[in-house]
Structure 1
């Protein structure tokens, strides 16, 4: 079975963020991921990781002002300087925490807008150029517009075209099973076709974005397929527990 990383932005939220690291380790996780770590200093995150014996597999670049509706900056031509500053901040956190994968959110923009397209490609080139010498990969993730209306990157084929077109060695696809099922379905064939460019996988049940096994997909079959395909990375558990986090971890015990 794949190796699973708890997403501490959605799991163990019964506790303050800095206390979730120990909780994840106590629940049997060897790794975690975060959406946005920036509310705490990088050294505080690093200290909790070390104390719990955990690896931080991935986190996102700053999305901009989330409360004001920002959902990333990469495809926004007028936010270029802010995006570049966010790359520097994220890389500093990555260095402090040993993280080797960063997700660059695209933002709210039209994929039909040539200026947004150009800005997105320019932003990804810049991020990859800055991250490459540090051994860090940049992820792009298609996100469904039911959950995030107007999101620029809402198609897996478009993401693959961008990755292959830019041909940057450290630009990879973040394959979220939840978003894939809502956008296109055909999860198993999608994994097989896109495996050469996949840098990270995430999972949640569909349609509720809850624990694996709580929705319409055969999540165990998907995990087995990842093994069969030779995927060796982490699978981020980016889901919202239906109740207390620990009470919903029976799926993890079943696949262990």
Structure 2
């Protein structure tokens, strides 16, 4: 498996720019984070290159994060802002060599504020723009438990979306935590959606910590992913229960420099058989 460190969730013990080196030391070959826009792209590229890391996915600008924005895609009044956001995302992805851009749907407080037709049209515009540069557009189903009032909140809606946009450059991001939060079987969902899956993220359920701290059978999940032929990146988007490195012990067999992780110290209680 190819595991990528989510630098928004992991290695928070150090400032953001120091997390690249820590991720590489732990054995990661890929990293991801939603927003590169608060940093000089040249500085980010230098950190990636210095540490031999691939940037595997970013998100398009989500709007005003301080106001709780998690995307602008379905809002008719924000179409022009949205168009600027996907161009900004493309510019950064091309410069940083990132092959996937996650276009988040957005938080919808009132149903009247959003439009399905606008959502589809905006996503189609992103797919056309990104695919011209060889970049995949990702969308993610987020559960009401994990992200209240998120617009793309079910796989039924996702199926409707993929029926309307049949371009293979539109793919789904599957997050094990959100799948479990929706009351769905993670392995069955992966099996059903794998042909349209461009990225997977992992976190245990119910507390969204590292694998082995909750109820999800990650041994079976990893075996199933391999059996289904998925060979893309798997992002570690979880909140470490303790410090990041100690919490990586469960994933050590899948990381290149696993000897770094096998020192004495904190180890979560694994519930996987």
Residues 113, 228 of structure 1: CA spacing in aligned structure 2 closer, same or farther, 3 A cutoff?
farther
SS of 2:225's equivalent? Answer: helix
| Aligned mates of 2:66, 2:110 — CA distance in 1 | 23
SS of 2:137's equivalent? Answer: strand
SS of 1:46's equivalent? Answer: helix
SS of 1:127's equivalent? Answer: helix
Q: Partner residue of 2:26?
A: 27
For residues 210-236 of structure 1, give each alpha carbon's deviation from its aligned partner in whole angstroms, at most 9, with x where no partner exists. 111111111121011100000010000
SS of 1:102's equivalent? Answer: strand
| TM norm structure 2 | 0.90
Q: Partner residue of 1:126?
A: 125
Q: Partner residue of 1:204?
A: 203
Stretches of structure 2 lacking an aligned partner (at least 5 in a row): 256-273
For residues 183-216 of structure 1, give each alpha carbon's deviation from its aligned partner in whole angstroms, at most 9, with x where no partner exists. 1321111111111111110000111111111111
1:68-107 matches, within 5 Å, as 68-107=67-106
Q: CA deviation at 1:159?
A: 0.9
> Contact 1:74/1:124 (CA < 8 Å) preserved in 2?
yes
Q: Partner residue of 1:180?
A: 179
> Contact 1:63/1:70 (CA < 8 Å) preserved in 2?
yes
Q: Partner residue of 1:240?
A: 239
For residues 41-73 of structure 1, give each alpha carbon's deviation from its aligned partner in whole angstroms, at most 9, with x where no partner exists. 211111100000000000111111111121110
> Contact 2:3/2:254 (CA < 8 Å) preserved in 1?
no
Structure 1 or 2, whichever has the larger Rg, is 2
Which 4+ runs in 1 deviate beyond 4 A? 110-115
Q: CA deviation at 1:114?
A: 9.6
Q: CA deviation at 1:254?
A: 3.9
Residues 124, 62 of structure 1: CA spacing in aligned structure 2 closer, same or farther, 3 A cutoff?
same
SS of 2:101's equivalent? Answer: strand
For residues 121-152 of structure 1, give each alpha carbon's deviation from its aligned partner in whole angstroms, at most 9, with x where no partner exists. 01101101110110001000011112221110
| TM norm structure 1 | 0.96
> Contact 1:111/1:153 (CA < 8 Å) preserved in 2?
no
Q: Partner residue of 1:163?
A: 162
Q: Partner residue of 1:66?
A: 65
SS of 1:12's equivalent? Answer: coil
| Aligned mates of 1:75, 1:114 — CA distance in 2 | 8
Stretches of structure 1 lacking an aligned partner (at least 5 in a row): none
SS of 1:134's equivalent? Answer: coil
Larger mean Cα displacement after TM superposition, 160-169 or 81-90: 160-169
Q: Partner residue of 2:230?
A: 231
Q: Partner residue of 1:213?
A: 212
| Aligned mates of 2:105, 2:14 — CA distance in 1 | 30
| Aligned mates of 1:129, 1:97 — CA distance in 2 | 20
Larger mean Cα displacement after TM superposition, 159-168 or 230-239: 159-168
